[in-house]
């Protein structure tokens, strides 16, 4: 988790799950830290010396011991979009691995902090295994040094970042096997528990954004499909230049065409695909934008006062509404209006 709001979701789902929670993020507030301590989470991933002092103060105030790991920056480059690369010294995350031993020594001096592990996360949507293994080799070297320094190292949080293939090709089972090897090989014989956060690779393929074609349009030779979904519903193509597969919901034979799939928001960045070869679809027909489960609804907004979409859970032949479609009234409910 990376916020107090995410902790609240965990607690509402199952309060017992708090003991499995790891709290990451560079900007934890004192209020969030105290809530996490009261909930009894597993581990705080510390990201600065100042944060360590705040966690220690919160733990002292509540007279509870906080189990901590330092998130170290291994300075390992990852072949991914620069906005979701997190493992270099120029990024805001973690502490330089060269400074880690000193920071662990400082944390161990506090009676309210229990040093328990090392954390690392080099980025998201990574599809090559070499960066994961390189990072874990550096972490393994650090763990050995910390053990020699007398620290009891119980956990290595390897973070997440395992990518998915948005083109739909490849064998994900083989990818998982390779990923597991890259993470665990450097940690052999260290007797630590490995913590993982493989969220995107699990929930990404589980989500589909269904949208209706409003208009077919041509500007000269340029073709557009204007749909009723927009960048407020799925911002990944605009923000990360992500290329999600798009398929007609009705599987019928149709001539292919090269077109842009765009939304109704008033900026040119509102698109789902550019120069994409798709079967010809007509106005009123539905398109499925695949692999929208990761950061689809989580990044959705009310930009242009657009209502967020409904969510439907499909489990075999069972279909259940799990989030109703927003209304304008929902969006305006928290606003304070003043009339003259």
Residue 53: both structure tokens together: 């002092």
Q: Minimal CA–CA distance to 323: which of 336, 314, 310?
A: 310
> Exposed/middle/buried for 123, CB within 10 Å: 0-12, 13-18, 19+?
buried
Residue 57: both structure tokens together: 């103060």
| DSSP 8-state secondary structure symbol assigned to residue 119 | E
Residue 51: both structure tokens together: 């944060």
| DSSP 8-state secondary structure symbol assigned to residue 220 | T
For residue 222, the cross-strand partners are 219
Quickly count: other Cβ atoms within 10 Å of residue 245's Cβ.
16
- Residue with tokens 């906080």, as numbered in its chain: 66
- Whether 58 is catalytic: no
Catalytic residue among 266, 329, 336, 337: 266
∠ CA 171-175-179, rounded to 5°: 175
Q: Could you tell me how many helices (H) and strands (E) the chain has, helices first?
A: 9, 15
33 three-class SS: helix
| DSSP 8-state secondary structure symbol assigned to residue 126 | B
Residue 110: both structure tokens together: 């506090």
* Residues designated as active site: 266
């Amino acid at each position: 988790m990376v916020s107090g709001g995410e902790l609240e979701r965990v607690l509402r789902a199952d309060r017992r799950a708090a003991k499995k929670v790891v709290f990451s993020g560079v900007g934890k507030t004192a209020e969030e830290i105290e809530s996490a301590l009261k909930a009894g989470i597993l581990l705080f991933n510390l990201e600065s010396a100042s944060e360590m002092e705040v966690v220690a103060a919160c733990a002292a105030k509540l007279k509870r011991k906080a189990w901590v790991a330092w998130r170290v920056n291994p300075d390992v480059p990852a072949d991914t979009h620069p906005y979701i690369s997190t493992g270099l010294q120029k990024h805001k995350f973690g502490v330089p691995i060269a400074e880690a031993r000193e920071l662990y020594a400082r944390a161990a001096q506090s009676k309210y902090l229990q040093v328990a592990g090392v954390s690392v996360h080099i980025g998201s949507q990574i599809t090559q295994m070499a960066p994961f293994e390189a990072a874990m080799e550096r972490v393994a070297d650090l763990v050995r040094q910390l053990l020699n320094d007398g620290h009891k190292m119980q956990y290595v949080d390897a973070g997440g970042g395992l990518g998915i293939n948005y083109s739909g090709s490849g064998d994900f089972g083989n990818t998982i096997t390779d990923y597991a090897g890259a993470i665990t090989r450097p940690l052999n014989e260290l007797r630590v528990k490995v913590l993982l956060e493989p969220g995107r690779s699990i929930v990404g393929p589980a989500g589909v954004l269904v949208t209706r074609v409003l208009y077919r349009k041509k500007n000269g030779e340029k073709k557009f499909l204007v749909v009723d979904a927009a960048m407020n519903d799925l911002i990944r193509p605009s923000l990360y230049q992500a290329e999600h597969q798009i398929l007609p919901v009705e599987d019928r034979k149709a001539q292919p065409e090269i077109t842009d799939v765009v939304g109704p928001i008033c900026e040119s960045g509102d698109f789902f695909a550019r120069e994409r070869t798709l079967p010809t679809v007509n106005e009123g027909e539905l398109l499925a934008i695949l692999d929208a489960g990761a950061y689809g609804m989580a990044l959705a907004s009310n930009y242009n006062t657009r209502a967020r979409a409904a969510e439907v859970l499909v489990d075999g032949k069972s279909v259940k509404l799990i989030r109703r479609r927003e209304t304008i009234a929902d969006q305006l409910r928290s606003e304070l209006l003043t009339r003259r």
